[in-house]
Amino acid sequence: MTTSKTAARTPSPRAVVTTLAFCGIVVSLMQTLIIPLIPGLPGMLNTTAANASWAITATLLAGAVVTPIGGRLGDMFGKRRILLLSLAAMVAGSVLCALTDSLTIVVAGRALQGLAMGAIPLGISIMRDLLPPARVGPAIATMSATMGVGGAVGLPLAAFIAQSANWQVLFWAAAALGLSCLAAVWLVLPESAVRTPAKFDGVGSLGLAVGLLALLVPVTKGGGWGWGSLPTLGMFAFAAVALLAWGFYELRIPAPLVDLRVSARPQVLFTNLASIMIGFAMYGTSLIFPQLLMAPAATGYGLGQSMLMTGLALAPGGLVMMALSPVSARLSARRGPKTTLILGALVIAAGYAVALFLNAEMWQVIVSSMVISAGVGLAFAAMPALIMGAVPVTETGAANGLNSLMRAIGTSTSAAVMSVVLASMTMSVGPLSLPTLGAFRVTFTIAVGAAVLSAVLAAFIPRTAAPGGSDPSMRPAKQTAPAT
């Protein structure tokens, strides 16, 4: 590990947390920004619904690929520098989308927006580098909560703008928010002194990108292509071969993009496996609840709400996540982040169990989403603490990026599985084909199972809390010799 010259300015912990949390909220907002436009996208872009869906898929794919790579670049060249580049890409992508109605350019712009998805794990790593040890736990919990707050606030805000103004205004607003983030990071945050001098693993980065794309494209497109079709099965097979080859290569070089030996440590491995299941379970609130709320009353179960009212109904969930962030930090400090992760997973399961039996009234859906969000908030706050308590301080960016990737794989897989269930159990309401109530109950049951499985996986995480029950992320991580 090397240290650069300490920055002359030392911002207050409050300024660091506020700046990074604001960036986290804005980046998370990008994920829900386009949801209100989905029904009208084919007409807006003069294309088919299948082609228009690439405007959503591009952000997911770009974010999944760049997150672990951006974390490693941050460890090597400076986390603030890579954070600024990520935010600049988001601004550029937003401006591209705002200036065109061409599908190709919108997809490119949405991919650039996706490059900012690494900002949250980078922000968590910056907090560990800049904040006093006693402030790291609460700060991580706050930063983790921004993933829910951005999505929850973004949905009604985007719906309001989409209903009251031209759709390009959404992207101009995103660009303005991105510029605000850039200015705040530039003015407030110094560069972290923690660096990992090494040669960048370009071959490993390319291999990971190819493998992830080959895995996630059929996951997100399999419903349209057909799960048994040659393109879907062929890409899955290619992904398996590519990722195995990538792993073999990473184990043989001195400075890998992802240190798989560190990732195989039980605390890291089981945290990442539990993260996949948490991401899987979490996605139901984004996919299932809006469809339930907006289904017409003629279905016998639908609540007939507009997109704006649906967004407002789900917004309290994000506020619950933020309100619980100090609670999750205190719980992790006293009982360890493993306990917090298990509790969070069980709370998510309880929220879906409530939705399984109580879904006939709008307030019941709101309560269910708030309980699920509370569990997600607890789990999201615990996962970075577990990861950073198990990896060298010089690898926190890459390790947090990999953990974020695991959650993204979980959400992508959840989208595919839930969509298949909802599309296979349908009823006709006039000219519309809509999911049955039984389909929603099956998805809730699957989500309960995923959350319970996450708790089981988390139970295998070794306890490494320091005496007195302090959060392991507060302790200095074991140092490793820099790769050369």
Q: Does 294 or 367 have the greater pLDDT score?
A: 367
Task: Give domain status of residue 287, yes or no.
Answer: yes
Q: What is the pLDDT of residues 143-201, one digit of tens each?
A: 877 877 777 777 788 778 777 777 888 899 999 999 999 999 999 988 877 777 767 88
Averaged pLDDT for residues 237-256 = 91
Predicted confidence band at 419 (pLDDT cuts at 50, 70, 90)?
confident
Sort 190 into a burial class: Cβ within 10 Å, 0-12 / 13-18 / 19+: middle
Q: What is the DSSP string of 294-305?
A: HS-GGGSS----
State residue 464's pLDDT score.
60
Same domain, 28 and 44: yes
Does position 5 have pLDDT exceeding 60, yes or no? no
Q: What is the pLDDT of residues 464-479, one digit of tens each?
A: 644 333 444 444 444 3
Task: Give domain status of residue 483, yes or no.
Answer: no
Same domain, 283 and 137: yes
> Residue 140 and residue 145: Cα distance in Å, rounded?
9
Does position 481 have pLDDT exceeding 60, yes or no? no
Q: What is the DSSP string of 107-163?
A: HHHHHHHHGGGGHHHHHHHHHHHHS-HHHHHHHHHHHHHHHHHHHHHHHHHHHHHHH
**3-state class of 197 per DSSP?**
coil
Does position 92 have pLDDT exceeding 50, yes or no? yes
Q: Tell me how crowded residue 454 is: count the other CB atoms within 10 A of its CB.
A: 30
State residue 12's pLDDT score.
87
> Residue 272 and residue 356: Cα distance in Å, rounded?
27
> Residue 119 and residue 117: Cα distance in Å, rounded?
5
Q: Does 332 or 466 have the greater pLDDT score?
A: 332
CB 23 within 8 A of CB 181: yes
Count of domains for the chain? 2
Q: What is the pLDDT of residues 374-408, one digit of tens each?
A: 999 899 888 888 888 888 777 777 787 788 888 88
CB 373 within 8 A of CB 381: no
C-alpha distance from residue 134 to each of 130, 138, 139, 193 (Å): 12, 8, 9, 19
Same domain, 64 and 110: yes
Task: Give domain status of residue 316, yes or no.
Answer: yes
Same domain, 223 and 117: no
Same domain, 247 and 265: no
Predicted confidence band at 38 (pLDDT cuts at 50, 70, 90)?
confident
Does position 449 have pLDDT exceeding 50, yes or no? yes
Q: What is the maximum alpha-carbon separation in the chain?
A: 68
Per the structure, the complete domain to which residue 223 belongs is given by 206-252
CB 385 within 8 A of CB 471: yes
List the CATH number of the domain containing 462.
Answer: 1.20.1250.20
Out of 233, 252, 271, pick the residue that ends a domain.
252
Sort 18 into a burial class: Cβ within 10 Å, 0-12 / 13-18 / 19+: middle
Predicted confidence band at 1 (pLDDT cuts at 50, 70, 90)?
very low
State residue 53's pLDDT score.
79
Averaged pLDDT for residues 363-373 = 93
Same domain, 217 and 117: no
> Residue 9 and residue 22: Cα distance in Å, rounded?
20
Q: What is the pLDDT of residues 112-155, one digit of tens each?
A: 998 888 888 888 888 888 888 888 888 888 887 787 777 777 77
Cα end-to-end span (Å), the chain? 11
Does position 312 have pLDDT exceeding 50, yes or no? yes
State residue 480's pLDDT score.
38
**Nearest Cα to 233, choosing from 218, 216, 243?**
218
CB 41 within 8 A of CB 236: no
Helix (H) or strand (E) holding 429: strand 426-429
For the record, the structure tokens of 222 come out as 């399999």
Task: Give domain status of residue 221, yes or no.
Answer: yes
Does position 90 have pLDDT exceeding 90, yes or no? yes
Helix (H) or strand (E) holding 22: helix 13-32
Alpha carbon 348 to its chain's center: 16
Q: What is the pLDDT of residues 273-293, one digit of tens each?
A: 999 999 899 887 877 888 888
State residue 165's pLDDT score.
75
Same domain, 85 and 21: yes
Averaged pLDDT for residues 198-222 = 86
> Residue 312 and residue 450: Cα distance in Å, rounded?
27
For the record, the structure tokens of 467 come out as 């005496």
Q: Quick one: what percent of the chain has pLDDT higher than 70? A: 93
Provide the mean pLDDT of the chain: 84
